[in-house]
Amino acid sequence: MEPKLLLTPGPTPIPPQVTHAMSAGMIGHRSSDFTSLMENVQSSIRPLFGTDHPVAILTSSGTSALETSMVNLVEPEEAVLIIVSGAFGDRFRSIAKSYPYEVHIYEVPWGEGLDIEDFKDFLASKQNIKAVFSQACETSTAVVHPINALGKLVKDYSEETLFVVDGVSAVGGMKFDMKADAIDCLVTGSQKALMLPPGLAFVAMNNTARKRASNNKLPRFYLDINKYFDALEDHSTPFTPAVSLIQGLDQVLSLYNEEGIEKVFDRHLAMRNMLRAGLKALDLELLVEDAYASPTVTAFKSDENELSHIKDALKNKHGITIAGGQKHLKGRILRIGHMGYMFPKDMLTVLAALEAILSKHRNKQYYGKALAAAQEAYYE
């Protein structure tokens, strides 16, 4: 009977009001009800992307938004530069390699922040880069990249070069300003800080990117973003959308507006700070330095046996699910998601459970230590 706690970096818990909205009953996607729903959604979703431009909604997972950004903004034979700092930078790389592009990769060691000066030199050594692709938050390592500084660098390199940002584990959990950050295209998915089930992908583009997309000769059909923007003019979608998810999205956006968007971002930062303080108090080493620590996901290290024990005990004894590492970080880290419908009290819950697990496992007294550190970080 005890409610379970899902603290993974996606999918994330759904607020009951959103579940309720999603079960309101089906409406036709060509009906006036749907048109007014889309109109509402459009006006309230833009602040989360930090833009006044329309945000296209696709019925597909986050990866489709990554692919959409690339196939609409880059022509065959053109050069792209991809920042690869984890599993999702790798995803951009795999997408790029599936198309006839010239692909340049800037590798960042997993778990480390991007060195902006080094990146500047790397970019300067490449010619005719048409677009630079980066994660805002690399979910697999819990690193955030310096998006604002990157955006400026890209535009210093060339005003013609587009800056494309994967905000899948960031939009809704951290502030964006597409203009100030020089982002031409920002994408995300529904199942992270947008507090929805998986199934929607979002693509925001400024006018420069829209123009590039409408002139692009690369063959594409479902992922042709022009179709979505054209349909948005009539508050519609080109294909049958996931109507219930959009009904839920409307509710998500009113919940975020009720809380206040700045407060939502502050809450995410507060959860990060609490968790980092608490984990340190448990003698757990954080994977990422403070300067690059994500407001939406936190990774910590330990030996493989201890990590496996922690993950199992959290799930089986405390009803809390967290995530393991991906690819070569498997068995080396655990990741705790703190985005969307998650709150400071959830951080206290997971830290209290970790105190109990580690006190027993290490035969050491941890009771109260992580909680005190987290509460100091939150209240002081």
Token pair of 266, please?
């502050």
Token pair of 256, please?
């975020």
| 83, 168, 200, 270: which one binds ligand PLP (CB under 6 A) | 168
| 61, 148, 308, 359: which one binds ligand PLP (CB under 6 A) | 61
Residue 234 Cβ vs ligand PLP, minimum distance, rounded to whole Å = 27
The CA-to-CA distance between both ends of the chain, in Å, stands at 35
Residue 310 Cβ vs ligand PLP, minimum distance, rounded to whole Å = 21
| 59, 68, 135, 251: which one binds ligand PLP (CB under 6 A) | 135
The stretch among 123-131, 161-169, 278-286, 336-344 that binds ligand PLP (CB under 6 A) is 161-169
Cβ-based nearer residue to ligand PLP, 139 or 302: 139
Cβ-based nearer residue to ligand PLP, 189 or 248: 189
H helical segments located in the chain: 16-22, 32-49, 62-73, 87-97, 116-124, 147-157, 207-215, 225-232, 243-259, 261-281, 304-318, 344-362, 369-379
Token pair of 75, please?
């022509």
Nearest to 261 by CA among 44, 79, 100: 44
**Region 89-118 residues binding ligand PLP, contact defined as CB under 6 A:** 91
- 5-6/320-321 β-pairing: parallel
| 88, 99, 119, 229: which one binds ligand PLP (CB under 6 A) | 88
Does 62 bind ligand PLP (CB under 6 A)? Our answer is yes
Q: Which residue is nearest to ligand PLP (CB)?
A: 62
Does 11 bind ligand PLP (CB under 6 A)? Our answer is no
Cβ-contact 79, 252 below 8 angstroms: no
Q: Report the C-alpha gap between 265 and 167 in whole angstroms.
A: 14
Token pair of 42, please?
């459009």
Does 172 bind ligand PLP (CB under 6 A)? Our answer is no
Nearest to 119 by CA among 91, 89, 150: 150
Going 280 to 264 to 182 to 204, the CA torsion angle's sign is: positive
**Region 177-196 residues binding ligand PLP, contact defined as CB under 6 A:** 189
Cβ-based nearer residue to ligand PLP, 139 or 273: 139
Cβ-based nearer residue to ligand PLP, 88 or 366: 88
Does 63 bind ligand PLP (CB under 6 A)? Our answer is yes
| 169, 206, 247, 296: which one binds ligand PLP (CB under 6 A) | 169
Cβ-contact 150, 116 below 8 angstroms: yes
Q: Report the C-alpha gap between 352 and 366 in whole angstroms.
A: 9
Residue 297 Cβ vs ligand PLP, minimum distance, rounded to whole Å = 8
Residue 169 Cβ vs ligand PLP, minimum distance, rounded to whole Å = 4
| 7, 10, 162, 273: which one binds ligand PLP (CB under 6 A) | 10
Cβ-based nearer residue to ligand PLP, 105 or 356: 105
Q: Is 366 left (phi over 0), alpha (psi -120 to 50) or beta?
A: alpha
Q: Is 75 left (phi over 0), alpha (psi -120 to 50) or beta?
A: beta
The stretch among 39-47, 61-69, 208-216, 257-265 that binds ligand PLP (CB under 6 A) is 61-69
The stretch among 16-24, 97-105, 165-173, 313-321 that binds ligand PLP (CB under 6 A) is 165-173
Interface residues toward ligand PLP, by CB under 6 A: 10, 61-63, 66, 88, 91, 135, 139, 166, 168-169, 189, 198
